[in-house]
Amino acid sequence: MSDHSNRNSGSRIRPGDEGVLPPPPPDAEAHSREVRAHIARIIDEADGVIPFSRFMDLALYAPGLGYYSAGARKFGEAGDFITAPEMSSLFSFCLADQAAQVLDRLGGGDILELGAGSGAMAASVLDRLASSGCLPERYLILEVSAELRERQARTLEERVPDLADRVFWLDDFPEALRGVVLANEVLDALPVERFRIRGGAVRRLGVARKGEGFSWREMPHDRDLSERVRAIEEELGRKLPEGYESEVSTAMPALVERIAGCLRRGAALLVDYGLPRREYYMPDRGRGTLMCHYRHRAHEDPFLHPGIQDITAWVDFTAVAETAVQAGCSLLGYTTQAHFLLGAGIDRHVAHVNPEDTLSQLKLAQEVKLLTLPGEMGERFKVIGFARGDDIGMSGFGFRDLRMRL
């Protein structure tokens, strides 16, 4: 295991054992109290219960308060989790090479990165594309968090000062993009609906107040949600068992639709942890995929430290593919992160290191392991690509395309 948890591993705390998490320092605790009070007011205004998706949205994105909108450290050693671009530039170099294949085919274009976090990936992608002589005309970033936009600008100024003037932050999707869309671990950070099967019916799970905190409460029947879950069961060819709990996302397909909608010509490459639908709703995954991260520990209680912990859910990659295809794009491929990085030539980056520089070689070999081993990020993380334009392809999907599993 790595020292730091990626957002799908980490030391996992069993339900009921959350007391073993490190206690938040007083300022973080005070911030979380403020977030709790804000959400409590909204619950009161909504007559005592709000959908879980609303709770997750507020806990992560309430302006100035939510986990991603306020100043929490989040990424890296001093934060709560580590992502692939934070762990190693090799990841971003591979994505850059894939983007270069598309830009080359298009004869130029832009890159649009969604949810750029600390800006680490933007800096490495630009760095790599500059050295391979394939810079995009502009590097656009669409980021919902004002605090993170500032952090991204600082990272780019520090790491690639000569290229920072190519970077522009957008408030919305461009009307028409010719180029490449990149997003790492953005889809899993979008709010989800949570449901439970009880008495044979689909119950929408909401959030109510309980003392100083919150608890789950079933909400009145929701036809849309029921129909969506029944459609999943129909596709699976079996009923979900009594007591089964899981999630469905409406925000995720809506975002994929926006991505596909803005692509005039080019491709999108989305990396995240998740599964094809058949595997996502397996009977033994009856507590769902919701996961929280706090100081490199993973646990399942979204009500524990609202505003100072991450909340995330796995991605239904079948839904991603369906949405993109319905929007008129063609699927480039779907595979594991390990197979994608191998197809994208991650080994070439290691081979370029001076053979006498043993320390650098060891460091890179360790990074390759973290990115590709099945017990690390290699298998749980998947890559999906889709394109508008028949002549567009990416070598990353050439190694092993698993689209037949979707």
Applying CB under 6 A, which of residues 58, 70, 135, 148 lies at the interface with ligand SAM? 148
> Should residue 316 be labelled a site residue for ligand SAM when binding is judged by CB under 6 A?
no
Q: Which is nearer to ligand SAM, 68 or 214 (CB)?
A: 68
Site string for ligand SAM, 186-215 (x = CB under 6 A): x--xx-------------------------
Phi and psi, residue 162, nearest 5°: -75, -15
Tell me which stretch binds ligand SAM (CB under 6 A): 98-106, 108-116, 239-247, 365-373: 108-116
Applying CB under 6 A, which of residues 143, 247, 272, 301 lies at the interface with ligand SAM? 143
Q: Which of 110, 105, 102, 169 is nearest to 135 (CA)?
A: 110
Applying CB under 6 A, which of residues 9, 32, 184, 309 lies at the interface with ligand SAM? 184
CB count within 10 Å of CB 154 equals 12
Applying CB under 6 A, which of residues 94, 95, 114, 129 lies at the interface with ligand SAM? 114
Phi-psi region of 395 (alpha: psi -120 to 50; beta: other; left: phi over 0): alpha
Q: Which is nearer to ligand SAM, 190 or 364 (CB)?
A: 190
Applying CB under 6 A, which of residues 130, 144, 208, 402 lies at the interface with ligand SAM? 144
Tell me which stretch binds ligand SAM (CB under 6 A): 22-30, 82-90, 279-287, 387-395: 82-90
Residues in contact with 224: Cβ distance below 8 Å, sequence separation at least 6, in sequence order: none
Phi and psi, residue 184, nearest 5°: -110, 125
Q: Which of 221, 210, 194, 185 is nearest to 300 (CA)?
A: 194
Applying CB under 6 A, which of residues 51, 66, 115, 302 lies at the interface with ligand SAM? 115
Q: Which is nearer to ligand SAM, 39 or 255 (CB)?
A: 255
> Should residue 117 be labelled a site residue for ligand SAM when binding is judged by CB under 6 A?
yes
Residue type, 118: S
CA–CA separation, 143 and 335 (whole Å)? 26
**Which residue minimizes CB distance to ligand SAM?**
115
Q: Which of 85, 105, 129 is nearest to 271 (CA)?
A: 85
Structure tokens at 230: 């029944």
Helices 120-131 and 89-106: crossing angle, nearest 10°? Answer: 60
Q: Which is nearer to ligand SAM, 207 or 256 (CB)?
A: 256
CB of residue 84 vs ligand SAM: minimum separation in angstroms? 6
Transcribe 290-315 into DSSP letters.
-EEEETTEEES-TTSSTTTSEEE--E
Tell me which stretch binds ligand SAM (CB under 6 A): 14-22, 83-91, 205-213, 217-225: 83-91
